């Protein structure tokens, strides 16, 4: 948590890492939100598209406040408006909600593959490899974080789709639990990053095993 609180200090300690990390996070969050908007449109809900969210613009998908918080303490978010009542079928909302985390999962795999290929073929520098590794790690973190069954996260929308009776819970209880769980999540943010690092290392090992298998064939 202390590292997140002082993320802005990387601006003068390691400006290249600071800028590269921000670019990767912004790209990852915007891709996440874009896919929400696109899948919603395919499912019959044009709310996000009508409000200009079929874009990769961070100002639209994240907003100035999220960008400021990213630069200052390393926390960012995005949001697109959806209207489940306009969607084609009962499970459309779950599909739209899952589209965001699924995008981060695919980006995590893509960054891992690029990291493996760049390192294996000695393309780029150590900084390039580190940032590709960081890209894979942060996307795996976003994948897990957004699937938490907590109000405000995609996991909650998926849960409610399959268990609609949850919505009958008193709204004040839901709000209270939301803030409690958010606090617990950010207290354990190190565990989330550990998950991201382990997932990335596992993917790199997998790509190496495939490469060795092909080379030995």
Give the residue with greater pLDDT, 5 vs 186: 186
CA distance 120 to 59: 37
pLDDT for 37 beyond 60: yes
Domain ranges of the chain: 2-216
CA distance 131 to 167: 41
pTM of the entire structure?
0.89
Q: What is the pLDDT of residues 128-181, one digit of tens each?
A: 999 999 999 999 999 998 998 877 889 989 998 888 777 666 555 555 555 656
Residue 2's pLDDT is: 42
Give the residue with greater pLDDT, 171 vs 66: 66
Q: What is the pLDDT of residues 38-60, one digit of tens each?
A: 999 999 999 999 999 999 999 99
Task: Look at 1-5, 153-157, 200-204 and tell me which has the smallest mean pLDDT.
Answer: 1-5
Share of the chain above pLDDT 90, in %: 70
Residue 130's pLDDT is: 96
In 51-188, where does DSSP find H-type helix?
Answer: 58-61, 64-73, 92-120, 126-146, 154-162, 171-187
Helix 92-120 to helix 189-216 angle (10° resolution) is: 60
């Amino acid at each position: 948590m202390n590292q997140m609180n002082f993320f802005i200090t990387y601006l003068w300690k390691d400006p290249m890492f600071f800028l590269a990390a921000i670019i990767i996070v912004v790209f990852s969050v915007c891709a996440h939100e874009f896919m929400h908007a696109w899948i919603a449109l395919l499912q019959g809900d044009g709310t996000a598209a009508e409000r200009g969210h079929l874009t990769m613009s961070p100002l639209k998908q994240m907003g100035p406040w999220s960008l400021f918080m990213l630069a200052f303490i390393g926390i960012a978010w995005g949001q697109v408006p959806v209207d489940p009542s306009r969607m084609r079928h009962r499970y459309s909302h779950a599909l739209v909600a899952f589209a965001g985390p699924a995008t981060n999962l695919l980006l995590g795999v893509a960054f891992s593959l690029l990291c493996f290929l760049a390192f294996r073929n000695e393309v780029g520098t150590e900084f390039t490899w580190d940032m590709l590794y960081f890209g894979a790690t942060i996307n795996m973190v976003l994948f897990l974080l957004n699937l938490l069954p907590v109000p405000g996260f995609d996991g909650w929308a998926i849960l409610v789709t399959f268990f609609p009776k949850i919505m009958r819970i008193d709204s004040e209880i839901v709000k209270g639990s939301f803030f409690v769980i958010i606090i617990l999540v950010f207290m354990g943010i190190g565990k989330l990053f550990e998950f991201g690092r382990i997932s990335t290392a596992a993917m790199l090992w997998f790509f190496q095993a495939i490469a060795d298998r092909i080379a030995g064939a």
